[in-house]
Chains A and B, each alone.
Chain A
Amino acid sequence: MSEMIIKNGYVFDPISGIKGDKKDISIKDGKIVDKVSNKAEVIDASGKTVMAGGVDIHTHIVGPKVNLGREMRPEDKLFRGDFRGGILKQGKRMEMGFSIPSTWKTGYSYARMGYTYANEAAMPPLLAPHVHEEIRDTPIIDVSAMPVFGNNWFCFEYIKNKEIENNAAYVSWLLNATKGIAIKIVNPGGTEAWAWGDNCVTINDPVPYFDITPAEIIKGLIETNEYLGLPHSIHLHGNNLGNPGCYETTLATLKLAEGFNPKNKFGREQVLHNTHIQFHSYKGDSWANFESGAKEIMDYVNSNKKITVDTGCVTLDETTTMTADGPFEYHLNQLNHIKWANVDVELETGSGIVPYIYDKNIKVCGIQWAIGLEIALYANDLMRVHLTTDHPNAGPFTRYPRVIKWLMSQKARDATLNTMKWKDKVIAATNLASMDRELDLYEIAMMTRAGPAKALGLSSMYGSLAKGADANIAIYDLDSAKMPSDPEMIESAFSNTIYTIKEGVVVVKDKKIVAEPHNYTLWTKVNMPENAQVMHDIKEKFTRNYTVNLENYAVFDEHIHNPRAIEVEVA
C-alpha cells in the first residue's frame, strides 16, 4: 500500500535508456510503477543523481573461505593499535574489519554505497549451509551465491563421457540442494590437481586420474548451461591466473565460447562471463618484464558480444586474497611469505587465502593497478564490462567509489601515478598514462548496475528503474549538470548516498543506516524431470566417498533465509 515518489533527480538507467534526464521515479508496494497518488511520500532529488541500486556481480562476502580469512586475520581489525576502517555503529550491530568485513558491516557498507544486491562469487556445495547462515546475518542487501563446478567429480565424469543431459540434471539437482544461482568455474581441473599438489596451467593440461582437460570442462559446462537455459552464463575464473604471460591462456579460454549461443528467456546475451579479468591480462614472461595485456584482451572482448567480463581492479591497499584457485594461493605465499590457509573440499573444490599488500611503491602493483583501469577504459560496451575488485582479492569493495573516481577522472589517475616510486617503469609497462578517456555517469551506471543485472539475467528485477523492477534506488550527491572539478568529491559522493531505498523502504538516509528490512536469498530453481541415472550416481558417491550423508547434504528449508527462486523450465 505504501507509495513514494522521487522527484526531479537526474536519472541514469541504461536498461531504460535514460541518460541523465530529469525524471520522477514512482514506487508502490516495493516496485517501480508509472505513477502514484498525491498521498505518496515525497523525496526531493533536485540536483542529485538517481540510479537503480547497485548490483555486484562478483564478490566474496559470505562463506567458509571468507570466514577463514576473517578468523585468521585479527590484524585486519586491529592494526598499530587502531581499529581499521574506524569505529562505526549505525545499525543494530557493530561493524568490524577492513578487507574482510563482518557480515553486518558488509550489508551496511554496501547499502551506504547505494548497492542493494550482491552475488557471492563461490560456494563450495558441501559447505552451503555455512553460506546461508552468513546470508541470514548480512543485513539489507539481497544475496545470491554461485556453487563451483569446475573441479567437481560428477561433472568430470559426465563431461568426459559426453553426457550433457546427465550433467545438466546433476547441475540442476545441485543448484536446488545448495540454493545456488549459477554455474561458477574456478581454475577448472587445476584445483583437483592441487589435491595432489599439482595444477593445470593451460587449458589442455589433463587433470590427474580423471584425464579431462580444462578446455573440455569449460565447453561441457557452457553446453550444460545453455541446455538448461539458466539466467546467467557460466561464470569463469580461468587457468593460469596471475602469471606473467597469462593473457594467452585467457585468449585461448575466451575463444572456447565461440561455438556457442545463449539460450534463455532472461535477456542474457553472453555465453561466458570471465571474472576479474585484470588478473588474467598479463604480458611478459617474468616479473622483470611484466606488462599490460589489457589491450589484447579488450580487443577480443570488444569484438565478441557473447563475452562479458568484470574488471577486478586493484585498489592499492593491504587486503586479503582468497580464491578457490588453491594452487595460486600456495604460489603467492611462496612469493610473499605471508601466512597461508588452504581448504581442499572432498569431491568438489578447494580454496586458499593469503594476505597481500598492493604497495604503490612496488612496480608490479602499480602495473596491476593500471591494467584494471585499462580494461574499462578500452571497453566499447560498458554493459559488458562490470566494475569489481574481486573483493577482497584486488581490494575491498568499499573502494568501489575510489575506482569510479579513477575511471571518471584522468586527473585522479595521474595524481595516483605521481605517488608511485617507480612511476616511470609503471608507465613504460602500461598504456594508462596516455589514455585520456573519462567515463561518464551513464557508463558508470552500466558498469555498476545495468550491465551486471543483465548479465545475471535479472534485469527485470534488479539494476533497472523500469516499471515492474524492484524499487531499489540510490540517490547520490552529484549534480550531473555541474560535476565537481575535484575528483575527491566523486569518491565521497559514491561512498555514502543521500538515500538508499530497498524495495521502497528508505534504508540509508544522509549517509546513515535508518532501517534494516528483510532481504532475499536469490536462487535458480530448475524444473526438470528426475534423472534416474544421475540419482543413482549421486547415491553411490555419497555412500562411498563423501563423509556427510546424502539426506543431510541439501540445505534444509529452515536454514534458507527468505528464498526467492528464479524459475527455469526444462523439458
Chain B
Amino acid sequence: MPKVIENVGCPYCGCSCDDVRVTVSDDGKKVLEVENVCAIGTEIFKHGSSDHRIRSPRLRQPDGSMKDITYEEAIEWTAQHLYKAKKPLMYGFGSTNCEGQAAAARVMEAAGGMLDNCATICHGPSFLAIFDNGYPTCTLGEVKNRADVIVYWGSNPAHAHPRHMSRYSIFPRGFFTGKGQKKRTVIVIDPRYTDTANVADYHLQVKQGHDYELFDAFRMVVNGHGNDLPDEVAGIKKEKILEVAEIMKNARFGTTFFGMGLTHSDGRNHNIDIAISLTRDLNKVSKWTIMAMRGHYNIAGPGVVWSWTFGFPYCLDLTKKDHAHMNPGETSSVDMAMRDEVDMFINIGTDAGAHFPIPAVKHLKKHPWVTIDPSINMASEISDLHIPVCICGVDVGGIVYRMDNVPIQFRKVIDNQGLLDDETLLNRIADRLDELNAQGA
C-alpha cells in the first residue's frame, strides 16, 4: 500500500513550504505523487527517487573516466587532500541541512581552510548591508496577518519563488487582513515589466543600476525634503515618487522584499543598505519591515549556523584554526578563485561549475576538485571526485531556515538506500582530519 506523508518540507526555494503531501511506494523507495507544491518542488521529489541517481562515489581516472569507489575511500581521499592543501576552500550549501553545515564547519576548522556559501554570489551584499546598517525585519506570518502595502524591489517572485505571493504576501487572508489581495497595495520596482509587475498596482520602471538614487529620493520625501526633488530621478518622475512615498508613509504595515535586482547591480550592498535606511526612516511615521528574498530553502542555514559557530555568516578564513577572519572582497570564494589564492576546492550542495565566472572555474580546476552533491552537474563533470549524498527533505530530514530565518523541521520521505547524508559524511572527514592533525602535530 502506498503511504501518504503529510507536512513535508519542500527543498527548493526560500519559501521553504512545509505543507507538501507526498505519496511514497510501499517499500519506501519511490515517490509516487507530490501535492501542494509548485512545479519546481515537484521535480525535486521525483528526481530524488529516480533510477538515475548516483549511489556511489566516483573518482576520476587518468584516462578521464570516472570509477566507482567506496565512501571510505572517498573520505580518505578528501581528508588527505584537505590536510595537504595550504588553503583549501569548501563552498556551497544551497542545498544541505543545518546538521551538514555544522559538520562542514568542523571539517574546515580542523583542515585550516576557507568556508563559504552561495550567499557569496547571491545575497552576500545583503549581509554586508546588514553588517553596516542593521535589519528591521519580521517573520512571513507578520506580513500575512498585518501587511497592507507590499513592495517587491528588484525581485520577481512569480518566477523565483512561485508560492510567495499566495502563501505569504499578497493573496492570503490573515488575522488583520481578512480581505486578502483586495485590501493590499502592491508596488513593484523593476527595470523590466515582469510577471510580478503584472499583478502590481504600481510598477516603477526604474533606470537599471540607479536604484540607489531612487531610494535617496524616497528618503528625502520621508525626511521632509520632497520639495527639493529634481523633476526626475532614476527614470521616475517627481510626481510619481511623491505619490508612492505617500502610500508608503500611510501604510498600516508595509514590507519591502528585495532580490538580485539590488544585490547584483552597481553598488550592490549599498543598494540594500539604503533600502534599510529608508525602512528605518519609515518607522518614524508608519510600521515597515524589509526582507531579503533568499533563493534556496536553506541558504539562510549556513549564515545562521556559522554565525553561532564562528561569529560570521560567510566568507570564512579558518586557516589559522584558532580564530576566524572574514572580509568579503578578500575571503570571498570568487575573489580567491580569480586571484589564484586557493589550492583545493570542494563544491557542496551547489554547482560552481555552472555559477562561477569561467575564469574562476578555470583557476579552481588547476587544483584538486571534489563535488559533494546528489546530482550530476557541471561541477561534478569536471571534478576529480564526486561524492553523492542524500537530499534534505527527500531521503534525510534535518533543520532548515526559511528566508525569514524561521527554522523548519524537514522530514525524510524515502529510504536513503545506502547513501550517506552530508552530516555523517562530513563528520567522518572531520574525524579523519583530527587523526591526521594529531599524528602530524
Contacts and interface: CB of A to CB of B under 8 A. Distances in A.
Interface string A330-351: 1001000001111111110010
Residue among B133, B136, B303, B325 with the highest chain A CB neighbour number at 10 A:
B136
Interface stretch (A49-57, A122-130, A160-168): A122-130
Interface residues of A, number: 65
A68 to B, nearest CB: 7
B210 to A, nearest CB: 25
B138 A547 contact: no
Given A345-B142, A546-B141, A127 B321 contact: no
A196 B253 contact: yes
Interface in B267-317: 280, 283, 286-287, 289, 303-305, 307-313
A333 B132 CA distance: 14
Given A83-B323, A341-B130, A67 B18 contact: no
Interface in A107-156: 126-130, 133-134, 137, 153
B54 interface: no
Given A137-B308, A340-B136, A345-B139, A129 B407 contact: yes
Given A197-B286, A552-B9, A70 B405 contact: no
Given A72-B131, A195-B287, A345-B142, 11 more contacts: A66-B308, A72-B134, A126-B139, A126-B406, A133-B305, A339-B132, A339-B134, A342-B137, A354-B134, A552-B408, A556-B397
B174 interface: yes
B176 interface: yes
B324 A137 contact: no
B325 A552 contact: no
Interface string A504-522: 0000000000000000000
Interface string B1-45: 000001101000000001100000000000000000000000000
A195 B133 CA distance: 21
Contacts, number: 185
A439 to B, nearest CB: 34
A513 to B, nearest CB: 13
A544 interface: yes
Interface string A345-374: 111001001100000000000000000000
Contact of A545 (B132, B145, B168, B405): B145
25 contacts: A67-B304, A67-B307, A70-B311, A74-B131, A74-B311, A87-B322, A89-B321, A93-B106, A93-B109, A94-B322, A94-B324, A130-B304, A133-B308, A330-B283, A341-B137, A344-B289, A346-B139, A347-B145, A544-B175, A545-B144, A547-B406, A548-B18, A549-B7, A552-B408, A559-B399
Residue among B102, B138, B286, B321 with the highest chain A CB neighbour number at 10 A:
B138
Contact of A339 (B133, B289, B397, B409): B133
Nearest to B290: A342
Given A71-B313, A344-B289, A333 B405 contact: no
A171 interface: no
Interface stretch (A34-42, A95-103, A213-221): A95-103
Interface in B390-423: 397, 399, 401, 405-409
A469 B117 CA distance: 45
A511 B322 CA distance: 18
B18 A552 contact: yes
Contact of B109 (A94, A544, A551, A559): A94
B307 A70 contact: yes
Interface of B: 6-7, 9, 18-19, 98, 102, 106, 109, 127, 130-142, 144-146, 167-168, 173-176, 252-253, 280, 283, 286-287, 289, 303-305, 307-313, 318, 321-326, 397, 399, 401, 405-409
Contact of A549 (B19, B140, B305): B19
Interface in A545-571: 545-549, 551-552, 555-556, 558-559
Given A195-B287, A547-B167, A96 B303 contact: no
Contacts of A354: 134
Given A77-B311, A93-B309, A547-B144, A345 B409 contact: no
B305 A195 contact: no
B286 A195 contact: no
B289 A94 contact: no
Given A64-B405, A83-B323, A548-B406, A342 B289 contact: yes
Contacts of B145: 346-347, 545
Nearest to B20: A549
Interface of A: 62, 64, 66-68, 70-74, 76-78, 83, 87-89, 93-94, 96-97, 100-104, 126-130, 133-134, 137, 153, 195-197, 209, 330, 333, 339-347, 350, 353-354, 544-549, 551-552, 555-556, 558-559
A552 B7 contact: yes
B252 A127 contact: no
A552 B309 contact: no
Contacts of B253: 195-196
A197 B405 CA distance: 22
B130 A72 contact: yes
A195 B408 contact: no
A166 to B, nearest CB: 19
B102 A137 contact: yes
Nearest to A68: B135
Nearest to A340: B134
Contacts of A547: 139-141, 144, 167-168, 406
A134 B19 contact: no
A196 B311 contact: no
A128 B407 CA distance: 8
Contacts of B252: 196
Nearest to A105: B311
Contacts of A73: 131
Contact of B176 (A93, A126, A127, A209): A209
A346 B167 CA distance: 14
A66 B307 CA distance: 10
A345 B140 CA distance: 8
Given A547-B144, A551-B7, A552-B408, A137 B136 contact: no
Contacts of A87: 322-323
B138 A102 contact: no
A133 B139 contact: no
